[in-house]
Amino acid sequence: MIVNLRTKLSISYVLVAIISVLLIMVLANIFLDKHFRDYVKHNQEQKNREIITAISTQYQSNDKWNMEAIEAVGVNALENGLIIKVKDISGKVLWDATDHNNGMCQRIIEQMAHNVSSRYPYIKGDYTEVPYPIKYEYNQVGVVEIGSYGPYYLSNHDLLFINSLNKLMIGVGVFSLFFALVIGSIMARRLSLPIAKVTEASQAIANGYYSERIASESSTSEINRLTSSINHLAESLEKQELLRKRLTADVAHELRTPIATLQSHMEAMIDGIWKPDTERLKSCHEEIVRIGRMVGGLEKLSRYESENLVLEKVSFDVTDLVKALINNFESNFLAKGIKINFSGSTQIILADRDKISQVVVNLLSNALKYTLEGGEVKVSVKGTEDTTKIIVSVNGTGIPEEDIPNIFERFYRADKSRNRLTGGAGIGLTISKAIIVAHGGTIAVNSSRETGSEFVVTLPK
């Protein structure tokens, strides 16, 4: 049977509460009852001792007894629910409670029997008279028989006390149960509410509402982890969705201009407005080449991003490679009045040389494109214990902070209004990232408007 979490938790809390309260009540009752019986026994012995002492002091030597005082003790004992009989050493009855007030004695015995059976219905009680010797100067001078209903003599006070204690315990038990129920249902609600919210939010996300987020903070760390994972999932889905939409728009946008140019040129030539001379055909050819380059780039990217990108790894000095590539670019940098510096010593890595070249070429051509005339580009190769870093810093205008997380995405260009003729299609860094990731490395950018941008490629050794 499938029930919701809140009901399940509530039922568990209630069961645990009932079991705990019952267990506590049963154990407390057993413990209390044992101590109560001990107390009753002890109390009875104490009373008996008091009677014996009181009767002993009434012996006045030579078989003389203070009869009035004995009667007073006997009556007092009777009033306290004890039936006594006093005999001298010869067995002659000096005072007998049943002779004094037989009716009262009967009532006391009945009351005792009633008290014991009401408390311990399973105990078969009996009225017994226990004889205790009365001594005078170490000699026995008589006997006092104290009658009580056994095995426990429960006075009305004792019974009242134990019964009110039991009622109090039941009251405490019922209150604890009620309290546990209330706390249990609050806890169940507190635990199930965030889960219900997470479920609701993930359903909304599954239905395509990627902007949905779970706002509430819980005091349970697991629930906080769950909500933050769902929020993170929604964020990446939202980002992917945005990029997917932008990718479609960007591809269309990138293709529209060269196709429109081609179309208008062709139409003009077909209509005889333009002569199909070499100059015009060359311009059409350039547009076609541009489209071809873009499609080629996309193809390359999909190949690099697919999981079966094959790397032909060889051991080589990456410093040597970077130096050679800088040499190839040197004239272009000089033509733009840009200073280019290199620092670094031999760094041997195991990697796909051609693909690492592509990454460096891309970083250098970006440095060339995005550094203003008269600027400076610094390239360095550094080695740590287990990584090699290629760093390209440019003191240009920097990349706006909001663009930094996106520049490695396809077709993303920080300056969207930039004339496309000066730049590429916005897939150079995406390809570079795919290559570096395939090598188990990372590519990151630090940028600020004041200091420019710094691209850091980290490769494992």
Which residues sit at the interface with ligand ADP, rule CB under 6 A?
Answer: 362, 366-367, 369-370, 394, 396, 399, 407, 412-415, 423-430, 453
Residue 170 or 249: which CB sits closer to ligand ADP? 249
Q: How far is the CB of 455 from ligand ADP (least distance, A)?
A: 7
Position with the least CB separation from ligand ADP: 424
- Residue 423 CB, nearest distance to ligand ADP (Å)? 4
For ligand ADP, which is the closer residue by CB, 49 or 253?
253
d(CA 309, CA 299): 13
Burial of 434 (0-12, 13-18, 19+ CB in 10 A): buried
Instruction: Compare residues 201 and 367 and give the one whose CB is closer to ligand ADP.
Output: 367
Minimum Å distance from CB 347 to ligand ADP?
A: 22
Judged by CB, which is closer to ligand ADP: 164, or 341?
A: 341
- CB-nearer residue toward ligand ADP: 184 or 424: 424
**Residue at token pair 């226990």:** 130
Residue 353, CA atoms < 13 Å, CB-side half-sphere? 12
Specify the pairing of strand 313-317 against strand 348-352. antiparallel
Cis omega (within 30 of 0) for bond into 151 = yes
Give the burial string for 420-433 (b: 16+ CB within 10 Å, else e): eeeebbbbbbbbbb
The least distance separating ligand ADP from the CB of residue 326, rounded to whole angstroms, comes to 15
Residue type, 308: N
Report in angstroms the alpha-carbon separations of 27 from 31, 156, 178, 181, 209: 6, 25, 20, 21, 57
> What is the identity of the amino acid at 44?
Q
Q: C-beta of 366: minimal distance to ligand ADP in Å?
A: 3
Inter-residue contact 142 to 134 (CB < 8 Å) = yes
- With tokens 């039941």, the residue in question is 170
Question: Which lies closer to ligand ADP via its Cβ, residue 190 or residue 413?
Answer: 413
Q: Which residues of 397-410 are buried (b: 16+ CB within 10 A; e: fewer)?
A: bbbeeebbebbbbb
Give the three-class secondary structure for 385: coil
Spatial CB neighbours of 147, under 8 Å, sequence gap ≥ 6? 82, 83, 84, 85, 97, 109, 127, 128, 129, 130
CB of 413 to ligand ADP, least distance (A): 3
Q: Cβ 349 to ligand ADP, closest distance in Å?
A: 23
Tell me how crowded residue 147 is: count the other CB atoms within 10 A of its CB.
20
Min separation Cβ 188 and ligand ADP, Å: 52
Cα 272 to Cα 66: distance, rounded to the nearest angstrom: 158
Is the CB of 184 or the CB of 258 nearer to ligand ADP?
Answer: 258
Q: Shortest gap between Cβ of 407 and ligand ADP (angstroms)? A: 4
CB closer to ligand ADP, 360 vs 407 = 407
In the complex with ligand ADP, the residue whose CB is nearer, 133 or 292, is 292
